[in-house]
Structure 1
Amino acid sequence: MDPETRRSARPRPSASRAAWPHAQRPGGRGREGRTPGGAAERGKGGVKQGLSPRFSGAPRLCRSNRLPGGPRIWFLGREQVLPRTQSLPPGAQSQASACTTDDIGLVGSMLDDKDNSVKIQALNALKALSGIRKFRLKIQEHSIKVLELISTIWDSELHVAGLRLLNNLPLPDFVHPQLRRVMPALMEILQSDYILAQVQAIRLLSCLAQKNDLLYDILNCQVHSNFLNLLQCTQPGSLLFEILVFAERLSEGRNSPHYCAVRWRYSEQSLHEALFGEDSRLADRLLALVIHPEEDVQIQACRVIVSLQCPPDVEVQPSACQLSHSFFNNGE
């Protein structure tokens, strides 16, 4: 056998768990002595050896079923499942569409792995695959597990990955009981100091605020006494905009005839009291944001003001942003 034939016939090593990079956690590292992508850089048992040379170009989807002692692991890209992207790259769409629901189950099984970095990569992969319509119902089955992860593990990278997945899925009604249980955790993530996680948490809460059966649970959720610091002008514009959208939806929801038909009671440290209570300083925050440098924040602050002042049956128009500050005399 000539040397060229001998090289082509040589079996290639299979990928190993070292192919999953350890997530860089805020304020810390992954496993002791390791850095993200370290296994791939060493080469031994890593992605560069384990995957076919065709992965040197655009990211593709592949699987290895020869991993010792564990199920198949999915890869998107050369060194990780999905490097925090919003969707599958164009080159991977057709290959991902050829997958089956059983394959989705294999990715979901990695959410039970003991290593947080593996959980994060599996969440990223499910997020990418959720963009394919035929997989959404199967991915929805993992919603409760994802909610459990983000409410029991304090890891900002995991929070971002899990919340991005949830924000990309239509959450079915059977998930609502679990959502009620994790509401305090979502509020804690919102009041953390990690912007990416805060933005994803507020987007999910804004969506849930439009559900009649969840609105009270959100409004009665406990918050810190300095909750309105999230509406300071020094906050990033992206976060301010999302919080203002959230406040507008809460204001509209609490003024709806359906919600007003019940006499609700709120705790002293609830979100309702922080935003709409007698001692709330929300009016001052909104007036300061009307002159914010970013136009989107200005407009959204005006929309919140209008929602607080207009009757529930009045449709809010963009031109209604021209309001007098006298509406908010004495913080009313």
Structure 2
Amino acid sequence: LPTCEKLCERILSCGSIDYPHQCLSQCHNGPCPSCSTQIILQCRCGKSSKSISCVEAIEDDPIENPFRCKQKCKTVKSCKTHQCSRICCNLDSHQCNLVCGKILNCNIHKCEELCHSKFCHTCSLFDQEIKCHCGKTVLKPKSKCLKILQKCYFSCKREHECGHPANHWCHNDDECPPCTHPVSKMCVGKHMSFDVPCHVKIVCCRQGCGKFLPCGVHTCQRSCHSDSCQSFDQKCTQRCNIKRYKCGHKCNLVCHGSEPCPVTTCEAIIKQQQQLECDDEYRVIQENKNLTQPFSINLDAPRQLPTVYTEFLRDYAKKNLEFVQTIERQ
């Protein structure tokens, strides 16, 4: 269709019912563009306003995201003491939600009601008798205003889970102090027992732990303890005490568990007249000792040969017996 130079002036969907907006574009074909009419937008408290295009106002969604000014509300709340102080406040009523906190007539407790303009109520504990847990100590009305008694000088009558009698004063706490009744408990390493207070759960002595390590060969060298002897990813670092077959010295390598000892050169030091290293010569001597030991043969002892006397000496001794005896006595 042909167009002219006049304004379109079609009625748009925006604006109010009484004053709908019109298209301000030049005569055109097709749908009208977005409304460019400038409108005055007020903040939610009504104290500020700004000019904005109709299309921007629709995109900002004034219902979900209303325009807010930066002014603080100075309206006095219902307590007639505090101010609102909200930014761009739109409340119809200003109820104070703060706690009163004023000192009550007992001069000890504070008012726990919401902030109010009237006088605070009378302390509810001021005219009541207060009893301890066992009931033997009573605080008379108006003598003192306390939520709990400071101390009752009678023994506590509560039953403990351990079954031991309480040896402390009556109290208003929810739980009794730890039981201190002496009991005999075994240490965690099962070495010995001790007399300790009942509440003590873990008892450790000063003896060595002695439990086998995961390697299955060595024992724990720590003193008695409650935790595991060795962490999951930790390996035994003690030395192997298995004797070597040839020389008899200890393996002395880092623990290798139940696996056979690796074949390595012995580094033991031998103490004789001089210090010698464990070599092939020493290993031969040691093997000879191992072979002769079951037969009680001592290779280190000097050999004793039988004494042989000649026939002449035997005849002479028979004829001169007194002289021979004199020689033997010397």
Higher RCO, 1 or 2 (CA under 8 Å, sep at least 6)? 1
Q: How high is the TM-score relative to the length of structure 1?
A: 0.17
Report which of the two has the higher share of strand. 2
Tell me which structure has the larger Cα radius of gyration: 2
